[in-house]
Structure 1
Amino acid sequence: MSDEGIAFHSTELFLSMTADRTEQQSSEEQQRSRNLSHDRSGPPMSIPGYETRQFLGSGAYGEVWVAIDQNTGRRVAIKFYTHRGGLDWSLLSSEVEKLVFLAADRYVVQLLDVGWEADPPYYVMEFVENGSLEDRIQEDESITVAQAVEIFRDITTGLLHAHGKGVLHCDLKPANILLDQDNRPRLADFGQSRLSHEQTPALGTLFYMAPEQADLQAVPDARWDVYALGALLYCMLTGAPPYRENQDELEIDFDGDLGERLDRYRAFLQSQDPPSDHRFIPGVDSQLADIVDRCLTIDPQQRFANVQSVVDALAARDRARNRRPLLILGFLGPLLMLLVTTVFAWWGYQQAVTSSEKMSLISRSEGNGFAADFVSEAVARQIEGYFREVEELAKDPEFVAELQNFVSDPEVATLTEQLRGVRERTSQSQMLEQHPQRALLEKRIQDRLKESETMDIASWFVTDKNGIHLAAAFDATAVDQGGQTPSNPDSSNGESVDQEQTSAIGRDFSWRTYFHGQPEDNPETIDHIRRTHLSAVFQSQVTNVWKVAVSSPVYGKDEAGEELFLGIVALTVEFGRMGKQLDSNNNERFYVLVDGREGEKEGVILQHPLFSQILDDDRTLDTQFSTASEYRVRLNELNPDREYKDPLGNHPEGIKAGYDVPFIVASRNVRLDRNAMQDGGANGIDTDTPAPDGSARDGSAPDKADSLAEADTGLVVIVQENYENAMRPVGRLGSALLFRGFSALAVAILVVCTMWYFVARALGDANERLSLRNGPGGGNSTIHSLETLELPNRLKR
């Protein structure tokens, strides 16, 4: 190309650099255009075969009229070149040449006729009546994503046809896309277009022009149109071209010469982050956004290599969208089936485990109930044995005679009368303790203690008719679990064992329940018991171990042969020693004895494996075990169908021993068989509970019906079994079911994934895979790739 040609082209390129239009007029040309636009009375000339109807507009080189083709009756657009001064006839002929190449292409505005020899010259174009795409974007902001894609597809197809005939548009923008009567796009304005073998640079429009295109030395490339395609689609989706900012645009438009402006334009694009507004448009999928991004890539090597690649990407997107129902059915369908199956399987698993736990709980509760029946029966039989033991002594003639002789002694009678109501040791108490006849009485009960040593009796004692303590005997091994063995009731060790029984000779204990038979100590009125009685529980003052006394009235004969009340004889038992059936070192299943009688001690735990562990370590029980409500059993809340929390599991000792876990419980009241007691010769059983006939425990003689019923001792046996260990078989069953379920799920997922893999391979396009392997450049280029070839060095100037 000559230097003059380069200079002319530079001028033409400068005139094409605006934000919205390819050409820009000078101020003189704009004034001339305004003058020419006034008062259009008729076209510059009449063209045979066409009837001009309407003036459409004017430009730097002439004006455009709408006419009617008299042969076909269709509307056409005629452009008259009335201003020849600045017209480059070579560029005009070049544009006409490109339009001839694209003749009969429905995606291009068609050239119908040319009058080069006319005065003024003209050419006739197809009239597209719906205006430009730019007008559509500016006037109608409601272009949907689907409409934008369809317009883009037609533009791409038209551009592909043009490239296929060797024509590069080089100035794609919304203003150069016209919409026909069906709103289908047509490519127009090929003034900047180049043939694929041409080396002449061509400038497009700001923000639609690729950065490498903005160079006066650039060689036309098919990727310029690819960039413009991306800018077109971006503009249709967002309403504005990419990177457009008013301030930067003005600086580019009006500052510096053309070369500087082009340099700033390139630098501006390279400094910006990739546009992303299109990704936030509702309805824009990731594949469509990726197409826009790859078209607008600044690096041409990363851009689509040509328009065919854009068409292929659109086709791939269409295939993916068409496969979506198949994917939903073939991919999501099995997933949903697996999910539904998993949900129902999990629900079935939960139901099975819950049902198994419930059945196991019922079974365990029944077993614990049988165990509680057995233990409560054993405790009852042992208490009945204590009843028989104390009644045998109360009826022993020798013992009765010795007691009557002792209490009938005038000196003793005087002392005991003086000691009534006295609860402390006095001189009279010492005198009574040292009376010689008392030793005979004490030896008698000591012998009785030795005879009954297999019954784990802690002590025997005797009071007179007023409750004055007369004698006592203690088991040498029953030292309140405290490690001290009293040599005799008078020893200091004995005082430590139980201050109510050792060194208690001569003290008044008529206020105790074992004497008067009422539910609580210190009643308002005191009368002696009239039958064998199980006392209220009381605590050792050394180790805080709970005890109970079994007492029976002793009757003699007066001079007239009438029955005479002499006093009571009683034995005491520690609950920790009441039968081996309550002892258990197994935390999995054990037995607990609770006081169930109404009053201040209701719910107090009398015996528990934890107590045995503490006493075995020669330690004292915490007083809070008997005083704090949080360590008492709420008997009315015991339910064999629910988990039970051991109250002692709240205590630090209980936590340390492992009692802070849920348990399964069963409870039974300890009841004595009155019939069995009567068969054994007992004269009735007295307990702290109301008599069955409704009479108060005031010492009155029992009703005959009362003696035939069972007597509730008020004691409750609780069997506790570790809940987690009891449910362990159910847990193992659940784990096995869970393992099999997850195994089946894993196999199902593996099968589905395998099916998906083969389906994906079957649906995959071998050409697409080859394209991906070759990379974005698509391999070596040929002249048919539509990329412009660089001039040989011998042809460069």
Structure 2
Amino acid sequence: MDFQRTENQSSDEQSRAQALSLKPARPPVQLPGYELRRFLGSGAYGEVWVAIDRTTGRQVAIKFYAHGGGVDWSMLAREVEKLAFLSADRYVVQLLDVGWESQPRYYVMEYVEQGSLEDRLKREQTLPVRDAVTLFRDIAVGLLHAHGKGVLHCDLKPANILLDQDGRPRLADFGQSRLSSEQTPALGTLFYMAPEQADLEAVPDVQWDVYALGALLYCMLTGAPPYRTEAAVAQLDKMTNLEERLSRYRKLIEDAPPPAAHRQVPGVDRQLADIVDGCLASDRARRYANVQEVLDALRERQKQRSRRPLMALSLAGPALLLLVMAIFAGSWFSTAMDESDEVLRMRALESNSFAAKYVATSVTNKFEEYAGAVEDVAASYRFQTLLASTLDAPSIVEWRERMNDPELSDAEREALREQFVNDPARQPLQDRLNELLADPDEVHVESWFVTAAGGLQVARAPVGGTIGRNYGWRSYYHGDIEDHEPAWRPGESDHIQRTNLSAVYYSDVTHRWTVTISTPIYIDEPAPSGEAGGEALGRRFLGVLGVSADVGRFLDLPEASRQLFAVLVDWRDGPNKGLILQHPLFEKLRSAENEVPERFESYHIEEEELPAFGALSVRERYVDPLSRDPEGKDYDMHWLAEAAPVGMRDRDTGFVVIVQQSYEGAIGNTLERLRQRLFSTSLVAGAAIALATTILWWLMIRSFGRQRRSAAQTKAPVAAAK
């Protein structure tokens, strides 16, 4: 069977088409009789140019198949054949010329200026009912003409309906069309294709086009074709071959309840909804038999609408409506604004909640990335042996013993530290940390460091004044909630047992809040002689490997601005609970003063102020703590805020992300425009109702007058006869 279906482009072809369409090109060839004016677009198989027919002065569209290696020429030839067959029909895009013998091949069609119905739906989502019905009627007439000449379209969809300069539809893309006498099946487009058409053995039928016609009207009214849902698309995508996909499509339509969304569209009356149902009936016996029946139903609907008696409108109705509007306009306006405000606030909070979770996930990923980096290095046998050999060097053993003495004076400690830093036994370890810091494949951090058992920092990259100092009191070493006093020294077991996130501290080097991700380093060594025969392995704690990172690196909120941004808060128990670690104001202060004033450490968020735990009123009217500072006046405004916790390795880190958005930026401007629009609409509506009432009164009075005159004229001859 010579089965043809709508051509699909591969991902490479789609990418190529997109790239080509972004830039105009010179015409592939100059055609006699045509003046090529401008580049219109291009795809995977060629280019489209707007030209002028030198003979008639008419604008035309010329498609050159300059990249036609994958084109199905038989399908295109079939399309040209059908277009030629339907020439002179105003409802069909006209074929004007064909150059199959040219290089490259081309064909010339009339230029339709308003694009496709699909383009219009992308802009407007749905169409007004009147516009949808008008287009529907014209498309049906065009199909009726085509069917009258024995041509079935078989692939009707918004992309194949072009709109002329008056917005009237033209049928296009007859690549899948069939003559009514043909027996060759043709596939349409999913969700516009009749269920019986989705069969490789199906014989073309006029009811296929009837179904697609109904799907078009449904899409114009609701914004999407019938039966198309995320679940339906997902089911079809799971199918591994065409036959399974078509079978699943048929079953999906047969098992699903009839579409009903069009009945909820304002302005869609019952008769119009019934016409849609009559086109979309999955049972062919209940579907309109042909397009003529569809047009008959439309005409009957219009006839019944025109029969609505004018007398049904009483004089009191419009007057009463005008009075009700005058009485309740103020109350309605206020209620509408309040409800709109609530809806917009809820939507903004939902958006902020999603953004907060997104940023929190981004922070989590960063933490886990850093944790993975230090764990990989610490687990490296090469690094373990390097550190063990460094710590076991006689000079290093001596330095560690002397420098860990808490009774040393500052001058003595500094003198020893300088000698320790310059000890050659320490250099291989220092070189390894320098390599890690410079390695572009490693995480981007402020520093890498190693703190030996007992708390002495033996190496750091970049080299700094912290080498040779004891940091066993830091939380990154002992793992407690907060740092101890600098004079505190850890015992043998006072060290972290797993990867740890330290308490935050303010870096005097970077002038930023910094956190350390650290992990313990162990090495397996033979047990000392006399223990288990000296053959068993013992686990020796060597120290702690860590990286320090600016907490500002963790925040990533696309399209952040002064009215929408993310804030990072330390919510762990301890003196820093509620401390704001990252805020746009901090960056502003660093730009001006190179550091954040110390007073900002006193601005903490209380539990009842945190959006994650606060009532709805807190999230709807969040107060930025930094707005209390003279430098933070720009943040003294009405905020909508949501918060999300940051985790790491399925554990809560204690960090919280707050996404806050100004009320004015999220809602205020929209609400003000809505207020103005409602007010102007109310005025126009009032004037329109008053005018309509006056016109109705005039028409009714005129009608009564005509009836009286007619009655008088009828009675006059009767009286004369008597």
Q: TM-score normalised to the size of structure 2?
A: 0.45
Q: TM-score normalised to the size of structure 1?
A: 0.41
Higher relative contact order (CA 8 A, sep 6+): 1
The structure number with the bigger radius of gyration is 1
